[in-house]
Structures are given as structure tokens and as C-alpha cells.
Amino acid sequence: MIFVDTSALIALGDRNDKNHKKAVKFFRETIKTTRFVIPKHIIVEYIDGVTKRIGKKEAMERLDNILSSKLIIIQHDKLKDWEKAIEYFFKYSDQEIDLTDCLSFAMMERLDLRTAFTFDSDFKTHGFEVVP
């Protein structure tokens, strides 16, 4: 299983994104052999961005695609994830790593996931493998 970050969802959904081709190529190459884990907070962050930048109708379609996909496992955070995220947020006080990423780190650790589909270097900083 591979953890999916907001940056990957943006790259997949936006043909003008600089990482679009890389994201689509990676997704197509891996969909037959793996499942993708997307936490609830990443879905919220992504759909909110689509709503504000493109429109509500498109956001609703994309949300429906995510919710109905058989390739995606939606994961909910737990209280211990939140507590660990806050710890990481303060640990990285000298860097611009946001609380959303810290929550992702905590969830990945709890779920024993080592690989993130992302274009965000913060995951590498925390010690995860980043793909593509």
C-alpha cells in the first residue's frame, strides 16, 4: 500500500501541473499491483482546494470518484495520530512542515506505511520513501 498526499492528487487532476505527466505515469504503472491509502484530512485539503480554485461541481465529481474507487482505502485519524502530529509539528519548529503533513507522518507510522506518493519533500525529510 502507498500513502497518497495532496500534492499527488493535485498533479493527477491538473494537466497544467508541472508533475502531471510523472504522476499519471506512476499511477498507471502501479494501479495493478497496489492499493492507495488516502487519509480523510488529505481528501478534505484536496477537495477544498478544488472547490475554491475550480468550482463546487468539479469538487463534487472528484470527491465522488475518490469515495467510489476500489483502488483507494480511506483512512481516518485517531487521537494518538493527532497527539503525535502535534509533537512532530513542534519538533520541526525550524522548518515549514505544516500540521497536515505531521498528521500524515503519524498516520503512516501507525499504519506501517513507508512509501508516500507525493511531490512534497517534507516526507523525505521525515524519513519516508517518496515516489515517483
pLDDT of residue 64: 97
Q: pTM score, two decimals?
A: 0.93
Mean pLDDT of 98-123: 98
68 φ, ψ (degrees, to nearest 5)? -100, -5
83 φ, ψ (degrees, to nearest 5)? -65, -40
Mean pLDDT of 103-109: 98
Mean pLDDT of 111-130: 98
Q: Which domains does the chain have, with CATH numbers?
A: 2-131 (3.40.50.1010)
pLDDT of residue 86: 98
Beta carbons of 6 and 98 less than 8 angstroms apart: no
Distance CA 43, CA 93 (A): 25
Distance CA 63, CA 46 (A): 9
Provide the residue count of the chain.
132
